[in-house]
Structure 1
Amino acid sequence: MSLLETLEMLSYLVTIVGLPLAILTFVWEQRKERRNEEEEIFQRLSDEYREFLKLVLDNADLHLLRREGAQTELTDEQKERRLAIFGILISLFERAYLLVYEDEMDKQTRRMWQSWEDYMREWVRRADFRDALPGLLEGEDEEFTHYISQLMNEEQKVP
Structure 2
Amino acid sequence: MTLETWELLSYIVTVVALPFAIGVFLFEQSKERENEEEATWQQISDAYIDFLEVVLANPDLRLRSQHATPDLSDEQRERMWVIFDMLISLFERAYLLVYDEHMDDKKRRRWHSWEDYMREWSRREDFRARLPELLRGEDPNFAEHIRRLAEEEVRRGPA
Deviation, structure 1 residue 68: 2.2
Deviations 1:91-123 (A, max 9, x none): 000000000000110011101101000000000
Unaligned runs of 5+ in 2: none
Deviations 1:30-62 (A, max 9, x none): 111111111110000000000000001111110
Normalised by the length of structure 1, the TM-score is 0.96
Q: Which residue of the partner structure matches residue 157 of structure 1? A: 155
Whole-angstrom distance in 2 between the partners of 1:48 and 1:4: 63
Taking only aligned residues, the RMSD between alpha carbons, in angstroms, comes to 0.9
Structure 1 position 93 matched with structure 2 position 91: yes
Unaligned runs of 5+ in 1: none
After the TM superposition, which parts of structure 1 deviate over 2 Å for at least 4 consecutive aligned residues?
67-70
SS, match of residue 137 in structure 2: coil
Select which of 106, 112, 123 maps to 2:110. Answer: 112
Whole-angstrom distance in 2 between the partners of 1:153 and 1:133: 11
Normalised by the length of structure 2, the TM-score is 0.96
Q: Percent identity?
A: 56
Whole-angstrom distance in 2 between the partners of 1:6 and 1:94: 61
- Amino acid across the alignment from 2:123: R
Select which of 132, 138, 141 maps to 1:140. Answer: 138
Q: Which residue of the partner structure matches residue 76 of structure 2? A: 78
